[in-house]
Chains A and B, each alone.
Chain A
Amino acid sequence: KQEVTQIPAALSVPEGENLVLNCSFTDSAIYNLQWFRQDPGKGLTSLLLIQSSQREQTSGRLNASLDKSSGRSTLYIAASQPGDSATYLCAVASGAGSYQLTFGKGTKLSVIP
């Protein structure tokens, strides 16, 4: 059974800092890994999706890497802004046929102005 762990559970940084969020998963047989953002009481916003054959994806100030063999992914946020404050969820797609997503518990990020 796939398990996804995110460290740290919470992170507080001053505005402008670069930061890294970590995600690890137990079963390396994945189809893809996705990073989401969730604001309080809201749904999910997809940030980046990395296919199992890829090593990284970039979108603006965000960069996500994937090391499938070691079961790890990182989300790098450059020049953090208060608007980046949210919970960031990592999810891996695995399981034959249904491609189920298994989510981590998330990292709650607070960017202090």
Chain B
Amino acid sequence: GAVVSQHPSRVICKSGTSVKIECRSLDFQATTMFWYRQFPKQSLMLMATSNEGSKATYEQGVEKDKFLINHASLTLSTLTVTSAHPEDSSFYICSARSGGGSVEQFFGPGTRLTVL
């Protein structure tokens, strides 16, 4: 149980375009989802925390207008990178937590974004 999927697994886009990444909890309801970014040879850095039905909370230094997060249902959160630039190229990983007293996060397989 506790499977989280991400789509797409890999995306290449031109500079200036927008890219949407989906994160789904397949067998549980995720009251909270997290989005992380990982640059080469670096660790995961939390970008934002989203609770179903409310606005995401962004970490310091993360532009909310550039990284749009929607958590409209208990099984789906989306991250949209707007007007992507080469410096946005990174590995994006989501995780989900079921709530109800559980603090464990379950991670998706990640999405490799390359902006040309």
Chain A interfacial positions (CB closer than 8 Å to B): 31-32, 34, 36, 41-44, 46, 49, 89, 91, 93, 98-106
Contacts and interface: CB of A to CB of B under 8 A. Distances in A.
B22 to A, nearest CB: 15
Contact of A49 (B43, B45, B95, B104): B104
Nearest to A31: B103
- 9 nearest CB pairs, A to B: A43-B109, A99-B103, A43-B110, A103-B43, A105-B43, A44-B107, A103-B44, A31-B103, A98-B49
Contacts, number: 48
B103 A42 contact: no
Contact of B43 (A42, A43, A89): A89
Contacts of A41: 91, 112
B93 to A, nearest CB: 6
A101 B57 contact: no
8 contacts: A41-B112, A42-B110, A44-B93, A46-B107, A93-B105, A99-B105, A100-B49, A103-B43
A32 B43 contact: no
B34 A100 contact: yes
Contacts of A89: 43-44
Interface of B is mostly: strand
Interface residues of B, number: 23
Interface of A is mostly: strand
Given A34-B104, A91-B44, A100-B46, 17 more contacts: A41-B112, A42-B109, A43-B108, A43-B110, A44-B44, A46-B106, A49-B104, A89-B43, A89-B44, A93-B105, A98-B32, A99-B97, A101-B44, A101-B46, A103-B43, A104-B43, A105-B42
Contacts of B34: 100-101
A98 B110 CA distance: 21
Interface in B24-40: 32, 34
A34 B57 CA distance: 23
A98 B44 contact: no
Given A101-B46, A105-B42, A93 B103 contact: yes
